[in-house]
Amino acid sequence: MYGLSNQLQRCAVSIASNIAEGSARNSDKHFVQYLETALGSSFEWETQLICAKDLEYMDDVIFEKNLKAIQKLQAMISNFKKTLN
């Protein structure tokens, strides 16, 4: 459980860090690359969330709340990426 919790935290930090780092780049092309990395980390986070649920580390209410939040974030990153392409 500790390993999975730690990995979830690392993904959350990675998402935010890649968006921040990408925003400092000189071109939209480079920013999109960082957004793609952030999006990948968000899908990794979603997968780990599902694993945590399957392992019964969280109840349905917490799982659904977090799943909706990460899927909303994925949609926002994807839509933002489209505006830069």
CATH number at residue 50: 1.20.1440.60
Q: What is the pLDDT of residue 65?
A: 96
Q: What is the pLDDT of residue 15?
A: 96
pLDDT by position in tens, the chain (length 85)? 768 888 889 999 999 999 999 999 989 999 999 999 999 999 999 999 999 999 999 999 999 999 999 999 999 999 999 999 8
Q: What is the pLDDT of residue 4?
A: 84
Contacts (Cβ under 8 Å, ≥6 apart) of 35: 18, 19, 22, 77, 80, 81, 84
The residue range of the domain holding 77 is: 2-84
What is d(CA 71, CA 42) in angstroms, rounded to the nearest whole number? Answer: 8
Number of folded domains that form the chain: 1
